[in-house]
Amino acid sequence: MSEKVVTRFAPSPTGFLHIGGARTALFNWLYARHTGGTMLLRIEDTDRERSTEAATAAILDGLTWLGLTWEGEAVSQYQRAARHREVAEELVRLGKAYYCYATPAELEEMREKARAEGRPPRYDGRWRDRDPAEAPAGVAGAIRIKAPREGETVVHDLVQGEVRFPNKDLDDFIILRSDGNPTYMHAVVVDDHDMGVTHIIRGDDHLTNAARQTVIYNAMGWQVPKMAHIPLIHGADGAKLSKRHGALGVEAYRAMGYLPEALLNYLARLGWSHGDDEVMSIEEMIEWFDISDVNKGAARFDFAKLEALNGVHMRGMDDAALTDALLATLPYLPNGEELAARFDDAARARLLKAMPGLKDRAKTLVELAENTYYLTANRPLQPDEKAAGILDDAARATLSEVLKRFQGLEEWTAATTEAAVREFAESSGLKLGKIAQPLRAALTGRSTSPGVFDVLEVLGREESLGRIQDQID
């Protein structure tokens, strides 16, 4: 039987969970789900200068909002420093690593010499085979790995294929600094081994690290996990993704009104595909995703595509689920808290009833929220500029006639109000639009809305008649 797949997502808590990190987390999560395995979470907080509690909280919050769950507690890399030291010292005992006492001045001299000779700057191995008895008194050395000098280190990558690194380029890199702190390169290997990680899925900016990390695995006699280095995301212009392209934290996408399901669908399609399928549910992504299908080339982030896809997901959602999603998201939207406070039970019921007409007209929850204005507006409504322009004297005279007919209706539905308006249009010779437009402006304070007869039914008799009367007065 093959081993159980264990993936991990390992962000550095130096900022928000950005969109590239979210996609890496998604690919790890999908692959774990697809294979019946698990995903672990490790916070790589060894950089004490830049790591913050707030950033850790933002990363956990972003993953939770996206629904990317992990097994067990999040592991802090910093808290495992004693274990990292133990392995580095074990490598020295095994003769696979050594203490190096080169001074900063000596290291600078090596770099200068390499530059002058047109070579990449590398440590020259001067303490590699020296007797430890030669160590200068009272000086703490750094521990360096004995990297192989001949041949090459091969990374068998599930996305990039076989990648070969000449060992002469790897040099004896530091695994434990002279102050006793592990380097990132070393800590990652020890953590992945101890956590039982079988598959490392990360950005291809880590590909050169993979060779150095393989050297540590081999020195310890540990099995090297399978690796998959996924291409980075670029902006629509082909340049590396930056803030101006949308390299924002995922909380910014929540504030822009995107559904987590739509964002995950969009991110999954950045660098991976399943035939011509554009719109996918979470279940379909889990069923179809395989890491070996990820493309080698960089993917381009396109806001217009994300927005269109979000609209498709919104329209495909059950009305009650979308109503819940909107109400839950309101506090995160611009000016949303104020709007959230207006949704009492009656307004929530109206929202649910209005949802079929509302969701066809919006691509984001921000647009959807803006279109709910008429459901919670206090009388008398304050029409916007366009609606105010529609409500001239002729429009008010038309509204007076419509009001009389509405007052005589025994049953109040979209069908009965529509019949009354059509009958008035025929008898007065007015076009339907000439009646519907002022009616819409009076009822919603806007020049566009869902179907005006649906609006009448959602608002109910009393509220509708009151709003029309307000504009006549």
Is 305 known to be catalytic?
Answer: no
Among residues 112, 121, 128, 239, which one has the least CA distance to residue 169?
121
Nearest to 290 by CA among 4, 9, 34: 34
Residue 218 exposed, middle or buried by CB count within 10 Å (0-12, 13-18, 19+): middle
What is the 8-class DSSP label of residue 74?
A: P
Nearest to 11 by CA among 72, 60, 48: 60
Nearby residues of 349 by Cβ (< 8 Å), 6 or more positions away: none
Strand, coil or helix: what is 299?
Answer: strand
Helix, strand, coil fractions of the chain, as percent rounded to 5: 55, 10, 35
Catalytic residue among 96, 168, 240, 243: 243
Give yes or no for a contact between 430 and 441, defined as CB atoms under 8 angstroms apart. Answer: no
Q: Using alpha carbons only, how large is the chain's radius of gyration in Å?
A: 32
Two tokens, residue 55: 């950033």
Give the span between the Cα atoms of 266 and 22, in whole angstroms: 11
Phi-psi region of 180 (alpha: psi -120 to 50; beta: other; left: phi over 0): left
Q: Are 147 and 173 in contact (CB under 8 A)?
A: yes
Question: How many Å apart are CA 58 and CA 249, to the nearest integer?
Answer: 9
| Omega cis (within 30) before 331 | no
Backbone phi, then psi, for 165, in 5-degree steps? -120, 120
Angle at 46 between CA 44 and CA 52, to 5 degrees: 75
User: Which is nearest to 264 in space by CA: 30, 439, 443?
Assistant: 30
The four Cα atoms 384, 386, 389, 394 give a dihedral, to 10 degrees, of: -100
* Rounded-to-integer distance, Cα 29 and Cα 191, Å: 19
The reply to whether 168 sits in an annotated binding site is no
Residue closest to 194 by CA, chosen among 60, 98, 92, 87: 87
User: Hey, is 76 helix, strand or coil?
Assistant: strand
Kindly report the backbone phi and psi dihedral angles of residue 42, in degrees, each rounded to the nearest multiple of 5, phi listed first: -125, 130
DSSP state, 257? T
From the list 93, 262, 81, the residue with the least C-alpha distance to 184 is 81
Give me the active site residues, please. 243
Binding residues for ATP: 243
